[in-house]
Amino acid sequence: MTNKENYLDFVYAINSDLIWTLSESGEVIVEMENKGFTNRVAQKFFKKPAVSKITLEGMGSFIWTCIDGKRNVYDIGGLVHDKYGDEAEPLYERLSVYMKHLEQVGFVKRVK
């Protein structure tokens, strides 16, 4: 990221390799494959699952459904504010940290 780029202008898309579903209660459930040597050992000897199901909480699930490869972080923040109001504050600080985390774990990719 250069000094001239504004994080709120970034556009993200959900990683197309992920499998995810929306529960009846509106929570997003992301299936994450546990890969690598350490995970294979844990699966074999400790009966750990090959796929972990990660449930996103309410606001996280809402943000997830707003990520479409077209909306930027600022636009998503506006939708979050419309739905959650003051409960989302400090909105853009929290949203930026959340989006960066989703990117770090490979759930989303920056497209613009």
- Residue-wise pLDDT tens digits, 70-104: 999 999 999 999 999 999 999 999 999 999 999 99
In order, the DSSP letters of 42-74 are HHHHH---SEEEEE--HHHHHHHHH--SSSBHH
CATH of the domain at 71: 3.90.930
Angle at CA 94, nearest 5°, toward 20 and 70? 55
Q: In the chain, how many domains are there? A: 1
Range of the domain at 77: 7-110
- Residue-wise pLDDT tens digits, 5-46: 899 999 999 999 999 999 999 999 999 888 888 888 888 888
Residue 112 has pLDDT above 60, yes or no: yes
* pTM given for the model: 0.86
User: Does residue 1 fall inside a structural domain?
Assistant: no
User: Does residue 85 fall inside a structural domain?
Assistant: yes
Cis peptide before 49 (omega within 30 of 0): no
Residue 1 has pLDDT above 80, yes or no: no
